[in-house]
Amino acid sequence: MTLDTLEGRVATTVREARDELVELLGRLVACDTTAREASEAPRDEQTLQGLLAERLGALGADVDVWEPGPTGTGNRHVPDDLDFCGRPQLAARLPGGADGRSLLLLGHIDAVSAEPIERWSSDPFVLTRRDGRLYGRGTADMKGGLVAMLAALEALHRCDVTLAGDVIYCAVTDEESSGAGGFAAVARGVHADAGICAEPTDFDAWIACRGSLTPTITIPGRPGHAEMTQPHWREGGAVNAIEKLGLVLDAVRGLREEWRGRADQRHPYLDPGDIVPTIVRGGEWEVTYPADCRLTCEVTYLPGHVGPDGTGRKLEAEIQETIERACAADPWLHEHPPTWVWDGDVVPAEMPADHPLVPIALAAAAECGHRGTVAGFGSWHDGATFIRHAGTPTLCFGPGVTGVAHTIDEWVAEDDLVDAAVAIALATLRWSGTSP
């Protein structure tokens, strides 16, 4: 490393705490905070937030742990029936000593289900050290990032560093399911001049992400006995809704291909939007023509397709009009058009690629031997909420690779965990500066 004396001390302090970092990650992994349905009881969210609150309080932070009220705000992104009882959010403010730039360090505590647990090589809720890797649910996505950010702050504290700007450490729930925790934090007033969300970027700086829409299209049929010859439907005969599904799938494929060639679907860091059939349900009995067939799709869309109202409704209209036009060529569907339900709207966001925090983060990674680049994320992350609703330009930057997120035997490299803590500590120093 080519670091000045202070940065060198901070980096050394982080590296000397390697076993402590691993131990803390093990404690977080042991907390079952896997994503849940809105109606399910809380898991170990309160325990995990308590662990973080205790560590942050020891640094002199002003720690706010709260349970937001029921959502019910009409936000298309957040389920109306979700409540946070037993599942608090956390925001801890470490005050700076002068008027330096403030920094948000953001992460989510929830992880996806570990099922099927029997296919894991070891217990997903017991951190396992093996061949330089740390295995367990959430190690990459993103309890490793939470640990790296906290370790960075602890190293700065142990080196008696007083930053010129405030640092806000924020840990939220529900990123994997709805983003509700991030919205709750923004509503609480959490914001900063810029932010780092420690998702598993493998030391790249993600400055943009796609959003998503989830339509369910119900194709009507007409029930009838499947073993009996049916008259024409205009004479009361049965109509097979499953067979009509082919028209909708053809329209979906055509729209996808059209998007791939359109100028408005180009982005320097993101793939074009996509529409992918993900769930099909149809049929009531094996000898009955199905009454309907339901197709659910996952639609991803670019920041440039967010409408003036801040939603993806304009794109919804394009999708619906395209598929309904294709269906109208079929006489039955012309007279009995499909019906639609749009479930949620995960709105994409981006920050300027030339924002000053971007080269700071990448240079800090380079100091640790990682050649990160400016990039985008094909899915979504909580940073988008802070960009759009809190005025906080937030990039993703952290340990681990997305390819192991959500998988069986999820892992993060132990060296990368430590390097990320060093890089975040250096980036914090360089962003906020120090105060005498």
Task: Give the Cα separation of 210 and 201 in Å (integer).
Answer: 15
**In 159-263, which residue ranges form alpha helices assigned H by DSSP?**
180-188, 241-261
131 is catalytic: no
| Surface-to-core class of residue 5, CB atoms within 10 Å of its CB (0-12 exposed, 13-18 middle, 19+ buried) | exposed
Nearest by Cα to 354 from 393, 310, 411, 304? 393
Task: Give the Cα separation of 206 and 174 in Å (integer).
Answer: 20
CA distances from 235 to 50, 65, 243 (A): 67, 65, 19
The answer to whether the CB of 288 falls within 8 A of the CB of 227 is no
Nearest by Cα to 64 from 187, 197, 191, 188? 188
Q: Which string of DSSP letters, residue by residue, matches 400-420?
A: S-GGGTTSTT-EEEHHHHHHH
Q: Which residue in 110, 274, 345, 414 is the catalytic one? A: 110
- Residue 295 main-chain phi, psi, to 5 deg: -115, 125
Neighbours of 183 (CB within 10 A): 23
CA torsion sign for 138, 143, 145, 147 is: negative
Strand partners, 90: 65, 171
Q: Which residue in 7, 175, 414, 419 is the catalytic one? A: 175
95-129 burial: b if 16+ Cβ within 10 Å, else e: ebbeebbbbbbbbbbbbbebeeeeebeeebbebbe
Question: Strand 211-220 relative to strand 292-301: parallel, antiparallel, unpaired?
Answer: antiparallel
Under DSSP, the state recorded for 143 is I
Q: Please name the helix (run of DSSP H) or strand (run of DSSP E) that holds residue 209, with its range, or none.
A: strand 205-209
Task: Give the Cα separation of 397 and 196 in Å (integer).
Answer: 6
Nearest by Cα to 92 from 45, 34, 149? 149
Task: Give the Cα separation of 130 and 25 in Å (integer).
Answer: 15
235 is catalytic: no
Q: Which residues are catalytic?
A: 110, 175
